[in-house]
Amino acid sequence: MGTLHSKVAVVSGSGRGIGREIALKLAAEGASVVINDLDADPAAETVAAIEAAGGRAVGCVGSVTDEGFGERFVQTAMDAFGGLDIIVNNAGYTWDSVIQKMTDEQWDAIVDVHLKAPFHILRAAQPVISRLVKSANESGQPVSCRKVVNISSLAGLGGNAGQANYAAAKAGVIGLTKALAKEWGRYNVTVNSVAFGLIKTRLTESAADGDGTITVRGQEIKVGVNPGLLAAMEQMIPLGRSGTPAEAAGAVYLLCTPESDYISAQTLVCGGGFNF
């Protein structure tokens, strides 16, 4: 049995990239996982991959910014697996611009997906966790340590030119993490964040031609990094390279294990040794 045997996890944005690797890692260690993606196909593919490896997973398709999504996400875990032990707020993307060119739409979209959506998911989870803890207490059972891992970024710790919206949202995630750690300690819930550095995903891959894009709710958004800039960024990392999604998932997993039961309100930097 894995270290997360019998645990139930929800991972937002887990159809692709880092989120997918987080879901696969948690499932490989025995957790039952609710998979979320904006699109049905990536979510279904991740569910299928987990099931093919002998794990348990179910999909919850939709945007984390939709009204009522938090309640639906949490309820999916309860309906499918009868519990809620691990919450990973991972969903997000970037929409960059220098501040004088940044629109209200850009600001609102990024703050909504990176900060408001985790707030909604955690707010929806509170009555469920409270009820589960009360039930355990009344039956004389030990209250197991539950885990929240919110995904932040080095941009939230040190800022990043062209990312005022993203940096502000990711800094807010750290504040949200610290506040919830104080509120939920009485439920035996640890609340931590992981701040990623340069991780290889479709958002940060080399874009020599400059035309890499993703589509979010009908909006085409340019992604990718100039190869020269990417090489310069990697030279600043002591390990000399960007990280992989699997390595990023490993950092999240550390904060989901029983060995981290007395670690809370912390921000773990997963950046290959890079510091501002």
Quick one: pLDDT at residue 276?
A: 76
Catalytic positions are 166
Quick one: pLDDT at residue 230?
A: 73
Distance CA 114, CA 150 (A): 9
Quick one: pLDDT at residue 275?
A: 82
From 129, 11, 33, select the one nearest 80 (Cα to Cα): 33
To the nearest 10 degrees (0 to 180), the angle between helices 104-111 and 164-184 is 30
Quick one: pLDDT at residue 223?
A: 66
To which residue do tokens 């950046």 refer? 271
Distance CA 50, CA 125 (A): 24
Domains of the chain: 8-198+243-270 (3.40.50.720)
Quick one: pLDDT at residue 214?
A: 67
**3 state DSSP class of 238:** coil
Segment holding 61, helix H or strand E: none
Quick one: pLDDT at residue 225?
A: 65
- Per residue of the chain (276 residues), what is the pLDDT tens digit? 899 999 999 999 999 999 999 999 999 999 999 999 999 999 999 999 999 999 999 999 999 999 999 999 999 999 999 999 999 999 999 999 999 999 999 999 999 999 999 999 999 999 999 999 999 999 999 999 999 999 999 999 999 999 999 999 999 999 999 999 999 999 999 999 999 999 998 767 655 545 567 677 677 776 666 677 678 889 999 999 999 999 999 999 999 999 999 999 999 999 999 987
Distance CA 44, CA 53 (A): 14
Q: Which residues contact 113 (CB under 8 A, 6 or more apart)?
A: 63, 64, 65, 91, 92, 93, 169
To which residue do tokens 């309640």 refer? 71
171, 157 contact by CB (below 8 A): yes
Pseudo-torsion of CA 4, 239, 92, 255, nearest 10°?
20
To which residue do tokens 């990718």 refer? 224
Distance CA 232, CA 216 (A): 29
Tens of pLDDT, residue by residue over 224-265, are: 666 776 788 899 999 999 999 999 999 999 999 999 999 999
To which residue do tokens 């997963």 refer? 270
Distance CA 215, CA 41 (A): 15
